[in-house]
Chain A
């Protein structure tokens, strides 16, 4: 019975869902990573005369070497910025930070806006305090989570390695199980979905990297040109890059911390209202470069989403996985949408719908 080979594993998955869902999540991540790396592995494989294992190993060694090289260059900057941040906050409660921010804002904001900020500062402070508390938890918890994260990353890399090596056999097995009536449709869909999803993910990754690098360069350039101190430029730039995965909201995620960092840092010539305007302009410029020059060239699929859809998706992501879910909800939704679009196309093209 052909159906049994689908029903039995499906029932087993439903019964053991609680135990296997974390592993499934890692496998999904590995699947996404494999679909990003596959074209690179294919290219290297062809250069190595058709050795798949050689291609996969070469890509892995190159990527790991690049990560190690970048980490050895960037981690000292990150540690320096993080320790600067820690010493800036050391001995200061959120209240004292708020007072220094309020003092800075008196020079920058018009009186009406300032009185609004002053009136609401208490509420914002309470909210941000509880948010930070929930985010950090206790140190032991953080260390445990860090260890689990590293282990998960290693597992994802192992899964990705196997997927890259065996992807053709897996595909053959999946296609082999499809009934004759849907064979061509399944094959066509699998190919189209694979192309669209990997194109979408590569596009998102490239856009995030572009925004991250340009924002960091922009902040350093502003500091140098205006002769002001905008600290934590590297961390803020990276944050802006990651946040770019979230449309509409992402750009502000980099902009706001950059302005706050400037306002909360003692400046030689005092706080100037012009600098935040320059910071905003710089982030808008980065967004324009991304939207007009980078994304249209690299995005293979139409991924325009209504703002309302984005907000709902982010809320769903938050309820499922917390802050990390907020970050990856939109790309995950993008992948699901592209897949569904192709399935609908397939059903129509093969006269099933």
Chain B
């Protein structure tokens, strides 16, 4: 359940109705595949076309075959990935005999975004399942943007903060839900005696 919620947050995309799609069709055509993929990620959604092109110059393009590891659990985190085409599994493979698949991500999804904030170790392994094309945006580039183009850097940081805040909110909601379910499943031990005294 938690993993489904996580996935729904990582898949946040801008809702556009038909009219707006039409109006922006011409503009979208001018955007490259990379810039388009970037704009669909909430972290970069508030960026102008010019700013998206600036980010486009800094991202790395990678291609993975089925089963190739993108990063391992415990590696120092360096940055985020956006799936252009293909599928990526987020797994716990610490026990080789019992690999747990946390989530399966597809076109337009992103992962590893917390590594843009600090270099904490990766909490899971990411591996491609099938031929996959990714773009990678790393912390050193993020820091360079913050130094060179502070206004653009701030926009990205606000976008990142919004994604993290939303994820935290969802996590809180989920925790409350779990607590309520636990409370309903097992009544308080002294509730009976209280009723008696009343």
Contact = CB atoms under 8 A, between A and B. Distances in A.
Interface string A181-200: 10111011001000000000
Contact of A46 (B57, B58, B148): B148
A351 B74 CA distance: 9
Interface residues of B, number: 24
Interface stretch (B1-9, B38-46, B62-70): B62-70
* Residue among A46, A172, A349 with most chain B CB within 10 A: A46
A210 B84 CA distance: 52
A307 interface: no
A175 B60 contact: yes
A290 interface: no
Contacts of B58: 168
A42 interface: yes
A183 B144 contact: no
Contacts of B148: 42-43, 45-46, 50
A42 B136 CA distance: 22
Is chain A's binding surface mostly helix, strand, loop or mixed? helix
B54 interface: yes
A42 B54 CA distance: 14
A349 B64 contact: no
B75 A184 contact: yes
Contact of A187 (B57, B69, B78): B78
Contacts of B70: 180
A322 interface: no
A183 B140 contact: no
B69 A349 contact: no
Interface in B67-118: 68-72, 74-76, 78
Is chain B's binding surface mostly helix, strand, loop or mixed? mixed
A191 B147 contact: no
* Residue among B54, B61, B70, B148 with most chain A CB within 10 A: B148
B149 interface: yes
Size category of the A interface is 20 to 34
A351 B78 CA distance: 15
A286 B10 CA distance: 58
A46 B143 CA distance: 13
Contacts, number: 49
B144 A351 contact: no
A131 interface: no
A168 B78 contact: no
Contact of A168 (B57, B68, B138): B57
A180 B62 contact: yes
Given A168-B57, A349-B76, A351-B72, A180 B64 contact: yes
Contact of B138 (A45, A50, A181, A187): A187
Given A187-B138, A191-B140, A46 B54 contact: no
B71 A184 contact: yes
Contact of A180 (B68, B75, B76): B68
Contacts of A46: 147-150
Contact of A184 (B74, B78, B150): B78
A43 B149 CA distance: 9
A14 B149 CA distance: 43
A296 interface: no
B111 to A, nearest CB: 13
B144 A42 contact: yes
A176 interface: yes
Interface in B139-195: 140, 144, 147-150
A350 interface: yes
Given A168-B58, A191-B138, A350-B76, 6 more contacts: A42-B147, A45-B148, A46-B148, A183-B60, A183-B136, A349-B75
> Can you list the 6 inter-chain pairs with the closest CB atoms, starting with the nearest?
A46-B148, A191-B140, A184-B78, A349-B76, A188-B78, A42-B148
Interface of A: 42-43, 45-46, 50, 168, 172, 175-176, 180-181, 183-185, 187-188, 191, 349-351
21 contacts: A42-B147, A43-B147, A46-B147, A46-B149, A50-B148, A176-B61, A180-B62, A180-B69, A184-B71, A185-B75, A187-B60, A187-B140, A188-B76, A188-B78, A191-B138, A349-B75, A349-B76, A350-B72, A350-B75, A350-B76, A351-B75
